[in-house]
Structures are given as structure tokens and as C-alpha cells.
Chain A
Amino acid sequence: MIKISKLIHDYIQRDEEGNPSGTIRAIDDVSLDVSPGQFIAILGHNGSGKSTLAKHLNALLFPTEGAVWVNGMDSRDQSLLWDIRQTAGMVFQNPDNQIIGQVVEEDVGFGPENMGVPTEKIWQRVEESLKTVGMYEYRKKSPNRLSGGQKQRVSIAGVIAMHPKCIIMDEPTAMLDPSGRADVIKAARKLNLEENITIILITHYMEEAIQADRVFVMDNGKIAMQGSPREVFSQVERMQELHLDVPQVTLLGHLLRKKGLEIPEGILTREELSDVLKKLKKGNRQ
């Protein structure tokens, strides 16, 4: 679905007169492959390069060196720009910057309309998309009257209406309350499982990454760690070095292990922890 090969991206710094004065390397030799239908999480501290990477995936930024292919399309080929953006949709952090329509259904219809989809097909797509994210009953409402989580789901519907094969979400839950966060993550999960849409989720909430098929951790423009959530979150100290965290249940398991309990690293759910502790307790009694 997405292939990144030896990607380098330099931002040009400019002095007060606007003349180039130097460069900052935001992405430094990154290669990765994402298969169709995968759910990928990208973690990394502020300034680690993850948003820069994400913007390459729908041709908002272009490689300084190396290449990015989206569904086989090379992003360096300007003639493919619109096809790439249609294939890989993007959801940003702040829903207020992404919603333009006066009415929810108009906002969602904006994308397909721009693509030249015939009118009756647009309405069909709008209906489907809003139903997928659970916002159909709000279709006649003004987006201003919605909560942050609802607005963000409308933004996602706007992306789905363009029938993308892949959706990149750049910290979609950063500004939401707990139930808004849960709804957005649920919607992303559903798109992945039921519609087989490839999801690339960039987040600062470690617990949102535990359901991913694969986790990439960025640091200093490079991929510092990668693997299954269990493989990545097993390395508590390494994650902390990278200014990150692990889910609290993982950290709790890690602390108990340090206190001498026989608990494996990389516990990801509370049910897992409860099972392990039950077994330990039984062992103690015998």
C-alpha cells in the first residue's frame, strides 16, 4: 500500500531577508512498507519527524532524497498528485481547521464534489460515510454545534467519502475528551476491520497503539524501534529514553517484575495482567 525507500527530507531555513541560510534534516533515511489493510501506529516525541513523514504519504511534502510510493504511485510524479491524495486521505489534529461546510452533510460531500462525482452518487457516499462513523443522525446539524469528538468523526467521514484506500491520522485525538477519543479510535478500528482501509495512526497516547498490527517509533528523523505493540512496549526503559511512555498496565507489569514477581514484559491489557497474577497466586498457595 505504502512503500517508503531511503526517504530524506530537509526543511530549508531562511534568514531575515528570506534567503536560504541552512537546512534541518527532519527525516533521515527512513524506509518502511505498509501492506494493504494494516493498522499502523507511529509514535515519537515532538519534533521526532512523524508529522513530516505523514505529510509525505499524501503528497503534501515531497522527498528531498529517496522516494514514496502510494499504491504504486510515485509521489515525485506531479501528474499523480490528485490520485495520491484521493488514495491516501488525511485527518489532522484540530477538527475546527478541517470543517468548512455550514451543515454536516454538505461538509462531507465537499470532497467527492471536488472529485467530480455525480450528484446522486455524492449523496449516497455522504450517507454511507456518516453511517460508518456513527454521525448520520447529525447530518442536518451545523458542525459548530458538535463536540470535538463528533467534529473529528465528521472530518473522518469527509475523508471516507472520497473512498480512500488508506487514511493517515495525525494526532486525531489530541484535542478531545475521553469519550471523544474513544469514539474516534473505535471509528478508525471499524474502518480498518470492516472496510479494509489501511490506517496509519500518529499519536501521543500509547494506549491507542496497542491494537495496531505494527508500531514504528521515530526519533531524530529515523525509525528508532519497530515491531508488534508487545515487542515495542516490552522495552520500557528504551521508550522512556525516547521521551515516550508505555501503557500504564504495561508499566505496572514492569514495576511488579522489578519487585520480583514473575511477570513477562509487554503486558498489554488488564485482562492479561489479571490472568498472570491469578496464576502467580495459585503458585504461591501450593
Chain B
Amino acid sequence: MGISLEKVSYVYEQGTAMQTSALQEVDLEIPDNQFIGLIGHTGSGKSTLVQLLNGLLRPTSGRVLYNGKDIHADGFDKKALRANVGLVFQYPEHQLFEVDVLSDVMYGPRNLGLDEAACKKRAKEALANVGIKEKYFKTSPFDLSGGQKRRAAIAGVLAMNPRILILDEPTAGLDPRGRDEILGLISEMKKNLSMTIILVSHSMDDVARYVERIVVMGHGRKIYDDTPKNVFRHYRELENLGLSAPQITYIMNTLRESGMDVETDALTVEEAAAEIMRKLK
């Protein structure tokens, strides 16, 4: 179950002088309950891919299947799809608009046609899941701190009870502590709600630390789809794609090149330290 893409291509402004091919024959399986990192340079096709996943765009060719059913076939319930595949845009706090935090988070479930009590229940659960305390429920969302605003905005999507949550650069503009908090939160959500998370990110350090699988897009194609360790072995190829590897990958490769016999596939500073200690003993 989950989403599958079968040979999906997407062309913007087809048939005009501005025709641009954004995606070419991409096959992709998004199963339930997986933490996936989606990386790619600007213009690599990752935003197009994300919009295809929840039916905001229709493929020029190929099929997008949700639980085995073509989402663009006649009679497919797109509204249910969008509730199941939640999308948190970049700087989601710019989309807060209600008078208080609770009402803002209730907006999504309301649009699903749920009654007031059910909306409230879902909103409260979502806010609890992003760690916003009850004392803020009646506060204007605009009076929250930057990090809290972002969490409230994520709660707004979470309240739709999605099975798959796509977050586009959720840490953009945050300081290191804010980054750790949001990523820790997402990781917790993944565990507690056993949902699939797709983290779209430019930060290789973040991706390396948290996800179990990485999909690398480049020039409209899927280039790699593997575990973080395996993907970052290709760090030179990633550079040619306008990407990079985590800082730690470079450090370990420098050590190895200078004659220290260390494995280079550490993904965190802690793993790297353990590996170096092992070699020095």
C-alpha cells in the first residue's frame, strides 16, 4: 500500500515555446511507515514530484497510483487523497490566518466536513503531537515565536490525519537548535503515528541523521534511491548534481585519503568518533 509512480513524466507548458520537461519517466514506490529524504538541486524536479504525489499536478504521461488505484481515473476521490497525503510547504507559518491557534488547526478538518467536536478533537491531538501546550490554544498564531508558528502550521496539516506527510524544507531559516527541535519532532511523529514522512531538504547533514532511505533527483530523473550510507558513498557524483554529502562524509574521506584506515560511511559525528577510536586502539 502507499503511493507508486509508474514511468511518470511531466512537462510544463507543453506545446508552447516555454515547454520544459521537469520529470522524465520516474518510477517510485512510497510504502507505508517509512522515513524518506528527498534531495535534489534547484530545478531537479523534486517540487514537481511532490505535487504529483498528492494530485496537485497530473502527469503528462505515466500513472500515479494510491493504494493501487490510478488517482486521475474517473471516480477517484481526490479529496480523500489530499487528506491522506498531507503537504507542508516551505515557510508554512506564512499560511497561518485564523484568530487563534486552535481555530487555525481546525480549518483543515472542517474542510473535510467533520463536525465541530471531531474537528476540535483532531486539532487538540495534532497540537499535542507537535508539542504546543494548551495554554497557547487561544493565542493568536501571530503572537507565537518563530519555531512555535512553524509547529502550529505543521499541526494544521497533521489534523487532517494524513498517512503520508510531505514536508518541504521544514527547517529553512531556523537556527541550529530550532532545526534540531523540528527534526526531532518529525522523527517522534513518525514513530508515534507510524506514518510515512517525506522530508524534502537541502541539508545533507539533517537528512543523513534522520531518514532511512534517500531519493536523489537530478535533471528530472531519479538518480539514486537507497539507504543514506549507500547514497553518500557517491559523494562526488552528488557534487556534480549540485548537491553535496554530509560534512562528516568529507571528514572521514579526508582521514582515509591521508592514510588512516577508517570506514567512511559514518552518518553522524558520534558514529565517526566511535570509528576513529576503534582504529586508534
Interface residues, chain A, with chain B CB atoms under 8 Å away: 44-47, 93, 147-149, 171, 174-182, 204, 206-207, 243-245, 247-249, 251-252, 255-256, 259, 261, 270-271, 273-275, 277-278, 280-281, 284
- The answer to whether B175 touches A273 (Cβ under 8 A) is no
Question: Which of A47, A207, A284 lies in contact with B280, CB distance below 8 A?
Answer: A284
Chain B at the A interface: SS class: helix
- The answer to whether B255 touches A255 (Cβ under 8 A) is no
CA distance A83 to B174 in the complex (A): 33
- The answer to whether B273 touches A274 (Cβ under 8 A) is no
B272 at the interface (CB under 8 A from A): yes
Chain B residue at smallest Cβ distance from A244 = B176
Chain B residues near A245 (CB-CB < 8 A) = 176
- The answer to whether A274 touches B258 (Cβ under 8 A) is yes
Chain A residue at smallest Cβ distance from B239 = A179
Total number of A-B contacts with CB less than 8 angstroms?
A: 116
CA distance A13 to B202 in the complex (A): 36
Chain A at the B interface: SS class: helix
CA distance A252 to B205 in the complex (A): 14
In B239-281, the 8 Å CB interface with A consists of 239, 242-244, 246-248, 250-251, 254-255, 258-260, 269-270, 272-273, 276-277, 280
B145 at the interface (CB under 8 A from A): yes
> Assuming the A-B contacts A149-B42, A243-B177, A252-B248, are A47 and B255 also in contact, with contact meaning beta carbons closer than 8 angstroms in the complex?
no
- The answer to whether A252 touches B251 (Cβ under 8 A) is yes
CA distance A29 to B263 in the complex (A): 49
Chain B residue at smallest Cβ distance from A246 = B176
List 13 A–B pairs whose Cβ atoms lie within 8 Å, in order of A's numbering: A45-B178, A175-B172, A177-B40, A177-B41, A177-B202, A177-B243, A180-B41, A181-B202, A204-B179, A244-B176, A245-B176, A252-B276, A274-B258
Chain A residues near B2 (CB-CB < 8 A) = none
A171 CB to nearest B CB, Å: 7
Chain B residue at smallest Cβ distance from A207 = B247
CA distance A45 to B179 in the complex (A): 11
Chain A residues near B243 (CB-CB < 8 A) = 177-179
Chain A residue at smallest Cβ distance from B241 = A179
B5 at the interface (CB under 8 A from A): no
CA distance A44 to B176 in the complex (A): 9
Question: Which of B179, B247, B273 lies in contact with A255, CB distance below 8 A?
Answer: B273
B207 CB to nearest A CB, Å: 11
- The answer to whether A281 touches B255 (Cβ under 8 A) is no
B126 at the interface (CB under 8 A from A): no
Taking each of A207, A252, A256, which has the highest tally of chain B beta carbons within 10 Å of its own beta carbon?
A: A252
Chain A residues near B145 (CB-CB < 8 A) = 46-47
